[in-house]
């Protein structure tokens, strides 16, 4: 038995256009690929590969499926053989031994948590729309933020009533294990061991790539400063924050079709931009980007535009994390909103056409943006300017494409008013240091 977790890793890594492209000559046509069908004779291409949906389909003979199905059909492999082929292709270790009792228990728990979260989605949505308290408090809050009813329903936004007893009674009636409710994040144990159920909050369900609800974010609507503004589901066998992006399920098709991804910080940023027609938007949910999140985006595009509010300190603090995106071979741009604005407020206060135009016209290459930002206050201070240059060279060094590195050296040398050869020399030092470190 192959570990189900390992199978899921293989499925997540497999890109249908790459797998099919191993055997078929694909030609890009917009967001899709076309080819002569490998399953029947034809003179005009009718075989389509759709990266956004992760499927292929021939409109001539009707054959369709995902990467696994293609291998099974084209290479005459069994399901397990196809999984092994993909694991080798994407360099994923695939445990071959029979699942241990611990692995089986983990899978059982993961499935149970998924049931709880799916039920909680329906229950919280019902509380928002079908109860007097939900409409008066939760629904009013969402509408005051400018969210239209269809947007609220689309994202599955909900409400948990005050007190906690309503949720406790409903969960008890369903027979859910209190320990699993705690692991799902709906119950927390106080120091004396008594349960605390989060309540009086609006909810934001977090969906996995396939649309399954895996976690929740919950915002308090009270002014009590003792209570955290946001409460998020804890890590579990179902939910790994470092591998998740808020909105990815709703955004993946638009990301692939438009060949770019807008990256924001919070739930409401995503929702407001989607409502404004910017559907290729996801959020890191307030955490620093991880390799897993970057690779999740890379499944659909190699172009990322990061949207910042006008806080200079926050921008400078996040610059280092962008090197991770560059290192994965993605092309990064930056949009800086006017002072006092963020993606949420900007999208809510302007027509969609103006939002789209602003994102298009103000997007700036990340390294150019970084160079301008770091050197703008170094006038007359050679030490600080040298520090800024070293930081920029560190970012250039992580770019895997050496031609692109050379072009950035030329561009940054002009911006920084420094001899290009000096930048090349410094870049080579950094690359040699990285090479020795990797040995």
At residue 81, the pLDDT reads 86
- Do 403 and 351 belong together in one domain? no
- At 332 the pLDDT is 96
The model's pLDDT over 9-22, given as tens digits with 9 standing for 90+, comes to: 999 999 999 999 99
Q: Which of 85-99, 275-289, 348-362, 397-411 has the lowest mean pLDDT?
A: 85-99
Number of Cβ within a 10 Å radius of residue 131: 16
- How far is Cα 253 from Cα 54, in angstroms, rounded to an integer? 10
Tokens of 192: 């004396």
Note whether residue 434 is domain-resident.
yes
Domain annotation covers residue 94: no
Dihedral (C-alpha) 154, 246, 251, 263: value to the nearest 10 degrees?
130
* Final residue of a structural domain among 219, 239, 259: 239
Asked if the structure places residue 95 within a domain, the reply is no
Same domain, 114 and 208: yes
Tell whether 318 and 379 lie within a shared domain. Answer: no
Q: Tell me: pLDDT of 175 over 90.
A: yes
Measure Cα distances from 194 to 15, 24, 116 in Å: 47, 61, 21
Same domain, 105 and 235: yes
What's the token pair of residue 291? 């390799």
Last residue of a domain, one of 362, 386, 411: 362
Residue 228: band (very low, low, confident or very high) from pLDDT cuts 50, 70, 90: confident
CA dihedral (359, 365, 367, 370) positive or negative: negative
CATH number of the domain within which 171 lies? 3.90.980.10
CATH of the domain at 305: 3.40.1360.10
Residue 70 lies in a domain: yes
Distance CA 173, CA 366 (A): 53
Query: Mean pLDDT over residues 188-196, rounded?
Result: 69
pLDDT digits (tens, 9 = 90+) for 199-217: 889 999 999 987 899 999 9
Triad 329, 267, 135: Cα angle to 5°: 160
- Is the pLDDT confidence value at 287 over 80? no
pLDDT tens for each residue of 389-436:
999 999 999 999 999 999 999 999 999 889 999 999 999 999 998 877
Angle at Cα 324 formed by Cα 436 and Cα 248, nearest 5°? Answer: 150
Give me the count of residues in the chain: 439
The residues with which 335 forms a beta bridge, in sequence order, are 307
3-class secondary structure, 338:
coil
In the chain, the N- to C-terminal Cα span, in Å, equals 36
pLDDT at 315 over 70: yes
pTM for this predicted structure: 0.79
- Cα–Cα dist 388/146, whole Å: 41
Residue 286 lies in a domain: yes
Q: What single-letter DSSP state applies at residue 311?
A: -
| 126-139 mean pLDDT | 97
**Residue 290: in which H helix or E strand, if any?**
none
Q: How confident is the model at residue 18, as a pLDDT?
A: 94
255: domain range? 243-362
Do 73 and 127 lie in one domain? The reply is: no
Is residue 254 domain-shared with residue 324, that is, in the same domain? yes
Same domain for 350 and 251, yes or no, is: yes
User: Does residue 345 fall inside a structural domain?
Assistant: yes
User: CB count, 10 Å around CB of 250?
Assistant: 19
Residues 224 and 111 in one domain: yes
Using the 8-state DSSP alphabet, how is residue 98 labeled? P
Domain with 21 in it: what CATH number? 3.90.580.10
Q: Decide if pLDDT at 227 tops 80.
A: no
pLDDT tops 70 at residue 439: no
C-alpha triplet 397, 280, 269: angle, nearest 5°: 95
Instruction: Quote the pLDDT of residue 408.
Output: 95
Residue 194: the pLDDT is 61
Per-residue tokens: 218: 């919950």
Q: Are 116 and 196 in the same domain?
A: yes
H or E element that contains 385: helix 382-397
23 within 8 A of 13, measured Cβ to Cβ: no
Q: Structural domain tally of the chain?
A: 4
Same-domain pairing of 250 and 233: no
d(CA 412, CA 374): 12
Phi, psi of 159, rounded to the nearest 5 degrees: -150, 140
The verdict on 358 and 381 lying in the same domain is no
Mean pLDDT of the chain: 90
Give the strand order in the sheet containing 158-160.
Answer: 158-160, 201-207, 213-220, 230-232
Answer yes or no: do 216 and 313 share one domain: no
Q: What is the DSSP letter of 289?
A: P
Question: Of 45, 61, 89, which marks where a domain is finished?
Answer: 89
Q: What is the rounded CA–CA span in Å between residue 100 and residue 84?
A: 20
Identify the pLDDT of residue 218: 93
């Amino acid at each position: 038995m192959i570990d189900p977790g390992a199978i899921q890793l293989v499925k997540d890594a497999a890109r249908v256009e790459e797998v099919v492209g191993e055997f078929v000559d694909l030609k890009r046509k917009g967001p899709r690929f076309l080819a002569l069908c490998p399953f029947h004779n034809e003179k005009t291409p009718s075989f389509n590969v759709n990266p956004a949906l992760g499927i292929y389909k021939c409109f001539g003979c009707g054959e369709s499926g995902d990467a696994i199905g293609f291998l099974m059909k084209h290479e005459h492999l069994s399901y397990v053989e196809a999984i092994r082929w993909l694991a080798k292709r994407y360099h994923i270790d695939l445990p071959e031994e029979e699942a241990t009792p611990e692995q089986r228990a983990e899978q059982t728990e993961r499935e149970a948590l998924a049931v709880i979260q799916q039920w909680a989605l329906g229950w919280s949505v019902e509380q928002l729309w079908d109860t007097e308290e939900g409409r008066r408090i939760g629904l009013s809050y969402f509408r005051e933020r400018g969210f239209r009813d269809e947007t609220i329903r689309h994202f599955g936004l909900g409400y948990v009533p005050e007190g906690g007893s309503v949720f406790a009674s409903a969960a008890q009636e369903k027979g859910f294990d209190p320990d699993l409710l705690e692991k799902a994040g709906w119950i927390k144990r106080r120091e004396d061991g008594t349960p605390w159920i989060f309540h009086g909050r609006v909810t934001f369900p977090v969906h996995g790539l396939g649309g399954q609800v895996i976690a929740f974010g919950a915002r308090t609507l009270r002014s009590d400063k003792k209570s955290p503004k946001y409460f998020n589901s804890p890590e579990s066998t179902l939910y790994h924050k470092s591998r998740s992006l808020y909105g990815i399920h709703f955004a993946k098709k638009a990301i692939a079709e438009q060949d770019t991804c807008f990256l924001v910080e919070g739930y409401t940023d995503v929702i407001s931009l989607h409502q404004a027609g910017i559907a290729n938007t996801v959020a890191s949910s307030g955490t620093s980007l991880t390799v897993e999140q970057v690779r999740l985006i890379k499944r659909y595009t190699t172009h990322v535009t990061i949207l910042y509010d006008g806080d200079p300190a926050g921008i400078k603090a996040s610059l280092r994390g962008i090197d991770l995106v560059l290192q994965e071979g993605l092309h990064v741009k930056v949009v800086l909103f006017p002072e006092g604005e963020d993606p949420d407020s900007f999208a809510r206060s302007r027509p969609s056409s103006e939002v789209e135009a602003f994102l298009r016209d103000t997007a700036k290459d990340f390294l150019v943006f970084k160079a301008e930002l770091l050197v703008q206050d170094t006038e007359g201070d050679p030490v600080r300017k040298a520090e800024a240059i070293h930081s920029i060279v560190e970012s250039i060094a992580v770019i895997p494409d050496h031609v692109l590195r050379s072009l950035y050296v030329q561009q940054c040398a002009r911006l920084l008013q420094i001899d290009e050869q000096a930048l090349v020399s410094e870049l080579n030092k950094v690359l040699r240091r990285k090479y020795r470190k990797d040995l």
